[in-house]
Amino acid sequence: MNALGRPMATTVVPVRDFGNSGPQSTDRLCSVARQPILDLRGRVHAYELVFREASGQDEDAALSSWRETAARFCLEKPSELKKLTGKLTAFVRCPLNALNDQLERVLPASLTVLEIGSDVEMSPEQLDTCRELKSLGYRFALDDFQPKPGAPLLPEFADYIKVDFARTALESRRELLKEVHGRPVQMVAMGVNTHAQFEEARREGFTLLEGYYFCEPVPRRNRRPPVNQMLRLDILKALQQHPMDLRKVSQMVKRDGPITYQLLRLVNSPAWGIRQNVESIEVALVAVGENAFRRIATLAIASEFNGDQPAELLCLAMTRARICETMAAKHGLDPFAQYLLGLLSLLPAMQGQPMSEVARTLPLADEIVEALLGKKNSERATLGWLECYERGDWAGCDAATQADGLDQRELSSVYVEALAWTESALHVGA
């Protein structure tokens, strides 16, 4: 990021190996997506890292893919895992033969939960290795746990049990929760993708949830639009004018106290590279320049649209905006229009209304509105790919790549850069 807040080119470095002496292929596509694990209050507890190469391979290849992916995305040392997760914990699927003294060279103990399949049988040596890793600070999760009659509930080193909410019967879930009650283990409900599932999991006693239920619009009773809703839509419209009427926009923004606060908070975040403290809208305009100001002001509006919804919803929208904007020039698209598309793509969940209703109120170009409504057009290419990527739907990513002529290697690298950019913008002062 340069001093004006404009994106710099993302460099994909050659693959380097963390301690693996075997040859590495620079042609292999390395992809990693993060998926949030939230607590009952909607706060992110950790992120699950889903590695493309780890799926459908033998265990040696899976561990190798971790190393390749880390090198590909400029993770020079294990502590830089926070580029993918901020300062939060990472859940990482761990094949049994990866449980050795080389693990510390790839994944930092303080930031890592090692996921082990609950259906595998461990040898006494592997159990000893788990205990040793536990003493080093690693935590363990039993993945996709299925209770088995007569089998021990869990090894003594397990910190989390992950249960597939859709695949596990209600009675089995209840029995399992009853068994672990009072033990120092946290229960994670996987595949919670609707608010109905969230409510059910909460009632049953799960404390952590993995899934995209928070992206689902939930109609709110007696909901009234914010007092400044029309003003904010007018600001959004004015921001799209070329050239932008700086005096007019400045006056409009200053009429909205919450937007002014959010905008100045964002301008002063590390993401925009401003060295002096900015205390007024006029100074912000001069400090970051017109193009960056458009993005920051739009982001401030989105922050207010998000209201009391989980902060991860805004984080996801910001990451989409950054990626869509960064890739726009490659496809001959307007960068700010693509930024708007990514940022507003989750507006239904923020506002509790379906996109068919939300889109009608937005002062956007017709093709952007159509893209928001799900129509497959050139404007929607990057966003469509990204929706698959976020969920680790690699087959969907491949199909989108072929249909729209996208560069998956570049997109995967831009995704990691966008995560870091979003973290620095959202967590200023945290």
Q: How many CB atoms lie within 10 A of CB 60?
A: 13
| Amino acid code (one letter) for 43 | R
Closest CA to 351 of 383, 322, 314: 314
The total number of structural domains in the chain stands at 2
Tell me the CATH number at 72.
3.20.20.450
Closest CA to 99 of 72, 124, 74, 69: 124
- pLDDT score at 74: 57
Q: Assess if residue 335 is contained within a domain.
A: yes
Residue 18 predicted with pLDDT over 80? no
Q: Whole-angstrom Cα distance, residue 199 to residue 237?
A: 38
The domain containing residue 197 runs over which residues?
A: 32-215
pLDDT more than 70, % of the chain: 80
- pLDDT score at 415: 93
pLDDT digits over 128-152, tens only?
888 888 888 999 998 887 766 555 5
Q: Assess if residue 192 is contained within a domain.
A: yes
State whether 150 and 269 are in the same domain: no
State whether 137 and 191 are in the same domain: yes
State whether 234 and 211 are in the same domain: no
State whether 192 and 262 are in the same domain: no
- pLDDT score at 72: 56
State whether 268 and 291 are in the same domain: yes
State whether 199 and 239 are in the same domain: no
- pLDDT score at 78: 65
pLDDT digits over 316-325, tens only?
999 999 999 9
Tell me the CATH number at 250.
1.10.3210.10
End-of-domain residue from the set 174, 190, 215:
215
pLDDT band at 90 (very low <50, low <70, confident <90, very high): very high
Q: Which helix (H) or strand (E) holds 155?
A: none
Specify the pTM.
Answer: 0.84
pLDDT digits over 399-430, tens only?
999 999 999 989 998 998 999 889 888 765 44
pLDDT digits over 381-397, tens only?
999 999 999 999 999 99
Residue 103 predicted with pLDDT over 80? no
End-of-domain residue from the set 215, 246, 264:
215
Cβ-contact 113, 137 below 8 angstroms: no
